[in-house]
Amino acid sequence: MKISVVGCGRWGSFIAWYLDSLGHDVLLYGREDSIHLKRFRETRTNGLVTLSRRVRLTSDLCESMESEIIIVSISAQNLRELMERISGYEPMGKTFVLCMKGLEAKSGKRLSEIAGEYMDGTNKVAVWLGPGHVQEFLRGIPNCMVIDSWDEETKRNLVAAFSGELIRFYYGNDLIGNEVGAAAKNVVGIAAGILDGLNLTSLKGALMSRATWEIAKLIKAMGGNELSAYGLCHLGDYEATVFSEFSHNRRFGEMFVKGERFSELAEGYTTILALMELSSAYEVELPICRAVYDVLHQGKSANDALNELFLRSVKQEF
Protein backbone atom coordinates (compact mmCIF):
# COMPACT_ATOMS: atom_id res chain seq x y z
CA MET A 1 0.00 0.00 0.00
CA LYS A 2 0.98 3.60 -0.53
CA ILE A 3 1.02 5.17 2.93
CA SER A 4 1.88 8.64 4.22
CA VAL A 5 2.82 9.23 7.85
CA VAL A 6 2.15 12.80 8.95
CA GLY A 7 4.39 13.60 11.90
CA CYS A 8 8.05 12.61 12.18
CA GLY A 9 8.44 12.56 15.95
CA ARG A 10 9.32 9.46 17.96
CA TRP A 11 6.11 7.52 17.27
CA GLY A 12 5.50 8.73 13.73
CA SER A 13 9.03 7.82 12.64
CA PHE A 14 8.67 4.38 14.21
CA ILE A 15 5.41 3.81 12.33
CA ALA A 16 7.16 4.75 9.08
CA TRP A 17 9.97 2.30 9.90
CA TYR A 18 7.53 -0.45 10.87
CA LEU A 19 5.30 -0.13 7.81
CA ASP A 20 8.34 0.01 5.55
CA SER A 21 9.52 -3.25 7.13
CA LEU A 22 6.21 -4.81 6.09
CA GLY A 23 6.83 -3.85 2.47
CA HIS A 24 4.58 -0.81 2.15
CA ASP A 25 5.49 2.27 0.09
CA VAL A 26 5.99 4.86 2.85
CA LEU A 27 6.28 8.65 2.75
CA LEU A 28 7.16 10.48 5.99
CA TYR A 29 6.02 14.10 6.33
CA GLY A 30 7.38 16.76 8.66
CA ARG A 31 7.19 20.55 8.72
CA GLU A 32 10.01 22.30 6.89
CA ASP A 33 11.27 23.71 10.22
CA SER A 34 11.09 20.35 12.01
CA ILE A 35 14.36 19.38 13.68
CA HIS A 36 13.29 15.74 13.36
CA LEU A 37 12.88 16.00 9.60
CA LYS A 38 16.21 17.82 9.35
CA ARG A 39 17.99 14.98 11.16
CA PHE A 40 16.38 12.34 8.98
CA ARG A 41 17.36 14.22 5.84
CA GLU A 42 20.94 14.52 7.02
CA THR A 43 21.53 11.14 8.68
CA ARG A 44 18.38 8.97 8.15
CA THR A 45 18.19 8.50 11.92
CA ASN A 46 16.82 10.25 15.02
CA GLY A 47 18.92 8.22 17.43
CA LEU A 48 16.21 5.60 17.88
CA VAL A 49 14.89 4.80 14.42
CA THR A 50 17.05 4.46 11.31
CA LEU A 51 14.99 4.73 8.14
CA SER A 52 15.88 2.85 5.01
CA ARG A 53 16.33 4.73 1.75
CA ARG A 54 12.98 3.32 0.67
CA VAL A 55 11.18 5.70 3.06
CA ARG A 56 10.75 8.99 1.27
CA LEU A 57 10.85 12.27 3.19
CA THR A 58 8.83 15.40 2.46
CA SER A 59 7.79 18.75 3.92
CA ASP A 60 5.03 19.10 1.31
CA LEU A 61 1.70 18.30 2.97
CA CYS A 62 -0.02 18.22 -0.42
CA GLU A 63 2.33 15.45 -1.55
CA SER A 64 1.46 13.40 1.54
CA MET A 65 -2.22 13.54 0.57
CA GLU A 66 -1.53 11.50 -2.56
CA SER A 67 -1.38 8.23 -0.60
CA GLU A 68 -4.40 6.00 -0.06
CA ILE A 69 -3.74 5.74 3.67
CA ILE A 70 -2.72 8.78 5.72
CA ILE A 71 -1.48 8.09 9.23
CA VAL A 72 -1.45 11.05 11.61
CA SER A 73 0.92 11.07 14.57
CA ILE A 74 1.17 14.54 16.09
CA SER A 75 0.20 16.24 19.33
CA ALA A 76 -3.52 15.78 19.96
CA GLN A 77 -3.99 19.51 20.54
CA ASN A 78 -2.63 20.28 17.05
CA LEU A 79 -4.99 17.95 15.20
CA ARG A 80 -7.70 20.50 14.43
CA GLU A 81 -5.21 22.91 12.87
CA LEU A 82 -3.77 20.09 10.77
CA MET A 83 -7.20 18.92 9.62
CA GLU A 84 -8.08 22.46 8.59
CA ARG A 85 -4.99 22.51 6.38
CA ILE A 86 -5.71 19.05 5.00
CA SER A 87 -9.30 19.94 4.17
CA GLY A 88 -7.97 22.62 1.82
CA TYR A 89 -6.66 19.86 -0.43
CA GLU A 90 -10.15 18.32 -0.60
CA PRO A 91 -9.06 14.70 -0.06
CA MET A 92 -11.39 12.02 -1.39
CA GLY A 93 -11.41 8.26 -0.90
CA LYS A 94 -8.70 8.35 1.76
CA THR A 95 -8.38 6.43 5.01
CA PHE A 96 -7.08 8.58 7.87
CA VAL A 97 -5.58 6.62 10.78
CA LEU A 98 -5.07 8.59 14.00
CA CYS A 99 -2.10 7.27 15.98
CA MET A 100 -2.26 9.51 19.02
CA LYS A 101 -3.96 9.39 22.40
CA GLY A 102 -5.75 12.45 23.61
CA LEU A 103 -8.89 14.58 23.70
CA GLU A 104 -9.33 18.18 22.59
CA ALA A 105 -8.74 20.21 25.72
CA LYS A 106 -11.33 22.95 25.15
CA SER A 107 -14.21 20.82 23.91
CA GLY A 108 -13.53 17.35 25.29
CA LYS A 109 -14.05 15.96 21.78
CA ARG A 110 -12.50 12.69 20.71
CA LEU A 111 -9.91 12.92 17.96
CA SER A 112 -11.95 10.90 15.47
CA GLU A 113 -14.77 13.42 15.97
CA ILE A 114 -12.45 16.30 15.13
CA ALA A 115 -11.07 14.58 12.04
CA GLY A 116 -14.59 13.72 10.91
CA GLU A 117 -15.61 17.37 10.95
CA TYR A 118 -13.24 18.02 8.04
CA MET A 119 -14.08 14.94 5.94
CA ASP A 120 -16.66 14.17 3.33
CA GLY A 121 -18.39 10.81 3.06
CA THR A 122 -15.78 9.32 0.75
CA ASN A 123 -13.11 9.37 3.48
CA LYS A 124 -12.81 6.99 6.42
CA VAL A 125 -11.36 7.58 9.88
CA ALA A 126 -9.77 4.94 12.12
CA VAL A 127 -7.64 4.93 15.27
CA TRP A 128 -4.52 2.93 16.09
CA LEU A 129 -4.25 2.58 19.89
CA GLY A 130 -2.82 0.40 22.61
CA PRO A 131 0.39 -0.31 24.52
CA GLY A 132 3.92 -0.20 23.23
CA HIS A 133 7.12 1.83 23.42
CA VAL A 134 9.37 2.52 20.47
CA GLN A 135 12.45 1.46 22.43
CA GLU A 136 10.96 -1.97 23.15
CA PHE A 137 9.64 -2.54 19.63
CA LEU A 138 13.09 -1.76 18.22
CA ARG A 139 14.58 -4.40 20.52
CA GLY A 140 12.23 -6.92 18.93
CA ILE A 141 9.81 -7.10 21.88
CA PRO A 142 6.30 -7.64 20.43
CA ASN A 143 3.03 -6.24 21.69
CA CYS A 144 -0.70 -6.18 20.93
CA MET A 145 -2.54 -3.10 19.73
CA VAL A 146 -6.01 -2.11 18.51
CA ILE A 147 -7.46 -0.74 15.28
CA ASP A 148 -10.95 0.73 15.62
CA SER A 149 -13.34 2.57 13.33
CA TRP A 150 -17.06 3.01 12.75
CA ASP A 151 -16.49 1.30 9.40
CA GLU A 152 -16.05 -2.49 9.60
CA GLU A 153 -14.38 -2.88 6.21
CA THR A 154 -11.84 -0.21 7.10
CA LYS A 155 -10.92 -2.09 10.26
CA ARG A 156 -10.49 -5.37 8.40
CA ASN A 157 -8.33 -3.82 5.71
CA LEU A 158 -6.06 -2.02 8.18
CA VAL A 159 -5.58 -5.00 10.47
CA ALA A 160 -4.66 -7.14 7.47
CA ALA A 161 -2.26 -4.51 6.12
CA PHE A 162 -0.56 -3.55 9.39
CA SER A 163 -0.20 -6.88 11.22
CA GLY A 164 3.25 -8.40 11.53
CA GLU A 165 5.39 -10.40 13.92
CA LEU A 166 6.16 -7.28 15.97
CA ILE A 167 2.58 -6.03 16.40
CA ARG A 168 -0.55 -8.14 16.61
CA PHE A 169 -3.66 -6.08 15.99
CA TYR A 170 -7.10 -6.68 17.48
CA TYR A 171 -10.35 -5.37 16.05
CA GLY A 172 -11.84 -2.66 18.25
CA ASN A 173 -15.59 -2.67 18.76
CA ASP A 174 -16.09 0.52 20.77
CA LEU A 175 -14.63 3.66 19.23
CA ILE A 176 -15.88 5.87 22.07
CA GLY A 177 -14.56 3.64 24.83
CA ASN A 178 -11.24 2.96 23.18
CA GLU A 179 -10.52 6.62 22.42
CA VAL A 180 -11.55 7.87 25.86
CA GLY A 181 -9.75 5.03 27.61
CA ALA A 182 -6.56 5.56 25.64
CA ALA A 183 -6.56 9.28 26.36
CA ALA A 184 -7.36 8.86 30.05
CA LYS A 185 -4.57 6.34 30.65
CA ASN A 186 -2.08 9.18 30.11
CA VAL A 187 -3.61 11.01 33.08
CA VAL A 188 -3.29 7.85 35.14
CA GLY A 189 0.34 7.73 34.03
CA ILE A 190 0.90 11.22 35.42
CA ALA A 191 -0.74 10.18 38.69
CA ALA A 192 1.60 7.17 38.83
CA GLY A 193 4.58 9.44 38.29
CA ILE A 194 3.44 11.68 41.13
CA LEU A 195 3.36 8.61 43.38
CA ASP A 196 6.87 7.68 42.25
CA GLY A 197 8.09 11.20 42.93
CA LEU A 198 6.66 11.07 46.46
CA ASN A 199 8.06 7.58 47.13
CA LEU A 200 4.53 6.21 47.29
CA THR A 201 4.85 3.62 44.53
CA SER A 202 3.06 1.07 46.74
CA LEU A 203 -0.18 2.98 46.09
CA LYS A 204 -0.15 2.16 42.38
CA GLY A 205 -2.36 -0.89 42.98
CA ALA A 206 -5.06 1.31 44.47
CA LEU A 207 -4.53 3.85 41.71
CA MET A 208 -4.98 1.31 38.92
CA SER A 209 -8.09 -0.35 40.34
CA ARG A 210 -9.87 2.89 41.14
CA ALA A 211 -8.82 4.74 38.00
CA THR A 212 -10.11 1.97 35.75
CA TRP A 213 -13.44 2.01 37.54
CA GLU A 214 -13.94 5.77 37.24
CA ILE A 215 -13.00 5.83 33.55
CA ALA A 216 -15.41 2.94 32.95
CA LYS A 217 -18.19 5.10 34.43
CA LEU A 218 -17.34 7.97 32.09
CA ILE A 219 -17.22 5.74 29.02
CA LYS A 220 -20.64 4.31 29.87
CA ALA A 221 -22.12 7.79 30.37
CA MET A 222 -20.79 8.84 26.97
CA GLY A 223 -22.50 5.95 25.23
CA GLY A 224 -19.56 3.55 25.04
CA ASN A 225 -19.07 0.11 26.54
CA GLU A 226 -17.76 0.43 30.09
CA LEU A 227 -15.83 -2.84 29.68
CA SER A 228 -13.54 -1.06 27.21
CA ALA A 229 -11.81 0.50 30.21
CA TYR A 230 -10.53 -2.99 31.03
CA GLY A 231 -9.19 -3.60 27.51
CA LEU A 232 -5.91 -2.91 25.72
CA CYS A 233 -6.53 0.81 25.26
CA HIS A 234 -6.77 1.60 28.97
CA LEU A 235 -6.02 -1.02 31.64
CA GLY A 236 -4.06 -3.05 29.10
CA ASP A 237 -1.79 -0.04 28.56
CA TYR A 238 -1.02 0.51 32.24
CA GLU A 239 2.23 -1.49 32.22
CA ALA A 240 3.60 0.75 29.49
CA THR A 241 2.27 3.95 31.07
CA VAL A 242 2.19 3.48 34.84
CA PHE A 243 5.46 1.58 35.31
CA SER A 244 7.74 1.92 32.29
CA GLU A 245 10.88 4.03 32.35
CA PHE A 246 9.96 5.07 28.80
CA SER A 247 6.55 6.52 29.73
CA HIS A 248 6.57 10.27 29.11
CA ASN A 249 3.47 10.82 31.24
CA ARG A 250 4.80 8.87 34.20
CA ARG A 251 8.11 10.67 33.97
CA PHE A 252 6.38 14.04 33.67
CA GLY A 253 4.39 13.40 36.87
CA GLU A 254 7.49 12.33 38.73
CA MET A 255 9.49 15.37 37.67
CA PHE A 256 6.57 17.75 38.20
CA VAL A 257 6.16 16.78 41.83
CA LYS A 258 9.93 17.12 42.33
CA GLY A 259 9.87 20.61 40.84
CA GLU A 260 11.91 19.57 37.80
CA ARG A 261 11.27 20.47 34.17
CA PHE A 262 10.25 17.83 31.62
CA SER A 263 10.83 18.86 28.02
CA GLU A 264 9.06 16.03 26.15
CA LEU A 265 5.37 15.80 25.18
CA ALA A 266 3.11 14.48 27.96
CA GLU A 267 -0.40 14.36 26.48
CA GLY A 268 -2.01 13.79 29.87
CA TYR A 269 -1.26 17.39 30.89
CA THR A 270 -3.86 18.74 28.46
CA THR A 271 -6.06 15.65 28.39
CA ILE A 272 -6.97 16.29 32.02
CA LEU A 273 -8.61 19.57 30.97
CA ALA A 274 -10.83 17.68 28.54
CA LEU A 275 -11.70 15.07 31.17
CA MET A 276 -12.84 17.79 33.53
CA GLU A 277 -15.10 19.12 30.77
CA LEU A 278 -16.54 15.64 30.22
CA SER A 279 -16.93 15.04 33.95
CA SER A 280 -19.12 18.15 34.15
CA ALA A 281 -21.00 17.55 30.90
CA TYR A 282 -21.92 13.94 31.76
CA GLU A 283 -22.18 14.47 35.53
CA VAL A 284 -19.70 11.71 36.31
CA GLU A 285 -17.45 12.06 39.34
CA LEU A 286 -13.78 11.44 38.49
CA PRO A 287 -11.92 11.75 41.81
CA ILE A 288 -8.49 10.63 40.58
CA CYS A 289 -8.68 12.84 37.51
CA ARG A 290 -9.85 15.72 39.69
CA ALA A 291 -6.89 15.24 42.01
CA VAL A 292 -4.45 15.30 39.08
CA TYR A 293 -6.15 18.40 37.68
CA ASP A 294 -5.92 20.18 41.03
CA VAL A 295 -2.20 19.42 41.31
CA LEU A 296 -1.26 20.32 37.73
CA HIS A 297 -3.54 23.27 37.04
CA GLN A 298 -4.76 24.61 40.38
CA GLY A 299 -1.51 24.63 42.35
CA LYS A 300 -2.72 22.18 44.97
CA SER A 301 -0.15 20.33 47.02
CA ALA A 302 0.31 16.78 45.74
CA ASN A 303 0.43 15.49 49.31
CA ASP A 304 -2.85 17.22 50.16
CA ALA A 305 -4.53 15.89 47.02
CA LEU A 306 -3.36 12.34 47.70
CA ASN A 307 -4.40 12.45 51.34
CA GLU A 308 -7.90 13.56 50.36
CA LEU A 309 -8.07 10.97 47.60
CA PHE A 310 -6.86 7.91 49.45
CA LEU A 311 -8.48 8.76 52.76
CA ARG A 312 -11.96 8.89 51.24
CA SER A 313 -14.37 6.73 53.19
CA VAL A 314 -14.90 3.12 52.12
CA LYS A 315 -18.49 4.01 51.20
CA GLN A 316 -17.19 6.48 48.66
CA GLU A 317 -14.78 4.09 46.95
CA PHE A 318 -17.17 2.41 44.54
Residues with a catalytic annotation lie at 185
User: Where do the DSSP E strands lie in the chain?
Assistant: 2-6, 25-29, 56-58, 69-72, 95-98, 124-129, 143-149, 167-171
Residue 121's CB is within 10 A of a number of other CB atoms, namely: 6
Q: Are strands 25-29 and 2-6 parallel, antiparallel or unpaired?
A: parallel
The residues, any chain, with a CB within 8 Å of residue 141's CB and separated by 6 or more, are none
Burial class (CB in 10 A: 0-12, 13-18, 19+), 223: exposed
Distance CA 175, CA 136 (A): 26
Burial class (CB in 10 A: 0-12, 13-18, 19+), 166: middle
Closest CA to 226 of 212, 239, 210: 212
Distance CA 15, CA 10 (A): 9
Q: Cα angle at 96 between 128 and 124, to 5 degrees?
A: 105
Q: Cα angle at 105 between 91 and 266, to 5 degrees?
A: 95
User: Where do the DSSP E strands lie in 32-153?
Assistant: 56-58, 69-72, 95-98, 124-129, 143-149
What are residue 187's phi and psi, to 5 degrees? -70, -40
Is the CB of residue 309 less than 8 Å from the CB of residue 288? Answer: yes
Is the CB of residue 17 less than 8 Å from the CB of residue 24? Answer: no
